[in-house]
Amino acid sequence: MPNPTDPNQAKPRHALAVSLNTAFQSLDPIERLILLRHSVPGPLVFTTSLGLEDQVLTHLIIRSGIDVRFVTLDTGRLFPETHALWAATERHYGIRIEGFYPDAAAVEALVDTNGINGFYTGKPARQACCAVRKVAPLARALHGAAGWITGLRADQSATRQEMDFVGFDPARQLLKANPLFDWSRNRIATLAADEQVPVNPLHERGFLSIGCAPCTRAVAPGEPERAGRWWWEDEQTKECGLHLSPDGRLIRAGAHA
């Protein structure tokens, strides 16, 4: 079996990303998932935030019958509703969603330096918190994976519109697939309702994009979907770092190895 961390395999994985990105455009999400599983040697990992699109993607992965590890990042600051949905999703689908947690010593050092809610003081402090609570656990969650599945969508933000169905992550040497990339939120919500997919009750209270409790608020009618994330920051481009390459760009199929 190919080793997804072997730099010598970067070029073929990059070429596969480009090929799959083209093929995905004419397929539905289940067909995309099946093609991904048939095309990528080695483990596939789906990182779910338990948000609306990730719940639907969990549902579609189960329907597709493909072999995937389900994982989530528990930052230590999640909403109680998110934890309840985690348990409900496992019961509903008969699966185990593996939890990955931040290093205790790293959290202690972060809080000692910046304070318990230091992320409100500025973007560098917020990025430091995301790095400890999200990015570092993600590295452990994806260790040994050949492919990474996410619920990213083009209409979530202006910057995400520039992404692809499938990209190559040069830092992690793996493929990153977004099977719902061209789906709208309304289309996803309709499928969730029609097929009785368990969803977070916070969505009905205006929390469209749900992350850590201190960093998420409900959005007002007409506000962008991700306006409720890190709302105290002025920048239009708001990312926690999970989906960025080392140079700060979103991962695309055309990324260079």
Rounded to whole angstroms, how far apart are CA atoms 73 and 223? 27
Is the residue at 84 inside a domain?
yes
At 229 the three-state DSSP class reads strand
Q: How confident is the model at residue 11 (pLDDT cuts 50, 70, 90)?
A: low
The number of folded domains in the chain is 1
- Is the predicted pLDDT of residue 166 greater than 80, yes or no? yes
Q: Regarding predicted confidence, which is higher, 105 or 254?
A: 105
Is the residue at 160 inside a domain?
yes
- Is the predicted pLDDT of residue 77 greater than 90, yes or no? yes
Q: What is the CATH number of the domain that holds 140?
A: 3.40.50.620
Is the residue at 226 inside a domain?
no
Q: Name 248's bridge partners.
A: none
Is the residue at 248 inside a domain?
no
Is the residue at 66 inside a domain?
yes
Q: How confident is the model at residue 226 (pLDDT cuts 50, 70, 90)?
A: confident
Assigned token pair, 124: 């560098």
Is the residue at 14 inside a domain?
yes
Q: Which of 129, 212, 215, 240 is catalytic?
A: 240
The residue segments making up the domain with residue 40 are: 7-199
Is the residue at 242 inside a domain?
no
In the block, tokens 């809610």 appear at 117
- Is the predicted pLDDT of residue 185 greater than 50, yes or no? yes
- Is the predicted pLDDT of residue 128 greater than 50, yes or no? yes
Closest alpha carbon to 67 in 91, 43, 48: 43
Is the residue at 193 inside a domain?
yes
- pLDDT score at 241: 47
Q: Which residues are CB-neighbours of 62 under 8 A, at least 6 positions away? A: 93, 95
Rounded to whole angstroms, how far apart are CA atoms 253 and 125? 31
- Is the predicted pLDDT of residue 180 greater than 60, yes or no? yes
To the query of whether residue 129 is one of the catalytic residues in this protein, the response is: no
Total-model pTM: 0.87
